[in-house]
Structure 1
Amino acid sequence: MKKISNKRRISSKFREYREYLIIVLLMDFWEGGEVKMQVTDVRIRKITDEGKMKAIVSVTFDNEFVVHDIKIIEGQNGFFIAMPSRRMADGDFKDIAHPINSETRSKIQEAIFKEYEKNIGDE
């Protein structure tokens, strides 16, 4: 039987708590089915020309909440965003934070691509 250290157990509990907090905070941005949050800052943290991943992005909502590690990926049909995720024990990936409707995803994606285009133009 494999022994799990206290440090690992605490780390696992912290991750679960952090994910719960993210969900609660994102739910707080919703009121009556309407999106009331605004994208107030987009920071392109890393840009690369090699491979399919083109950039890593942080997005701030209402100057109060930030989501890090959103990736800009170049796919067969153009660019798209991939929300932050982690690898599960079975090898699959699960999003840590993500929009729950297409309207919000589009809003976030448009803000990210606008800033990405500005950053590419500066190079």
Structure 2
Amino acid sequence: MEVSDIKIRRTYDHGRLRAIVSITVGGDLAVHDIKIIEGDDRMFVAMPSRRENGRFCDIVHPITAVARHELERKILDSYLQYQQQQVMGKSLQPAEKENL
């Protein structure tokens, strides 16, 4: 899967939600509202979803485990790189900071 662009749209300091991300796949498809969540053991990526009959259902998601792992790795790597740049005082891209 060719992810041609990853944008960190908003970051959070409190709670488990760490960031909202948008990606471009193959230069042709944009996916918005991907969430980076701080889990008990590790950070993970939650794809855009909606609530239906009391459950959350993904709106878009990778079909295979390999594709999911690759996408998650690329998004988390981008987020960690973004965090490092923020610590060094250099912004890679604008992201709205949410301090709740």
Q: Which runs of 4+ in 1 moved over 6 A?
A: none
Structure with the higher helix share, 1 or 2? 1
Distance 1:42 1:107 in 2: 13
Structure 2: where are the runs of 5+ without partners?
Answer: 87-100
User: How many correspondences in the alignment?
Assistant: 86
- Give the root-mean-square deviation of aligned CA atoms: 0.9
Q: Which amino acid aligns with 2:68?
A: R
TM-score in terms of structure 2 length: 0.82
Secondary structure, counterpart of 2:57 in structure 1: strand
Secondary structure, counterpart of 1:56 in structure 2: strand
For residue 80 of structure 1, what is the aligned residue in structure 2? 44
Could you tell me the percent identity over the aligned residues? 44
Q: Which amino acid aligns with 1:51?
A: G
Task: Please give the residue correspondences for 1:6-25 in structure 2 after superposition, counting only pairs within 5 Å.
Answer: none
CA shift, 1:110, in A, is: 1.2
The alignment status of 1:50 with 2:14, answered yes or no, reads: yes
Structure with the higher strand share, 1 or 2? 2
Distance 1:61 1:105 in 2: 13
Bigger Rg over Cα: 1
The alignment status of 1:113 with 2:81, answered yes or no, reads: no
Secondary structure, counterpart of 1:67 in structure 2: strand
Q: Relative CO higher for 1 or 2, CA cutoff 8 Å, sep ≥ 6?
A: 2
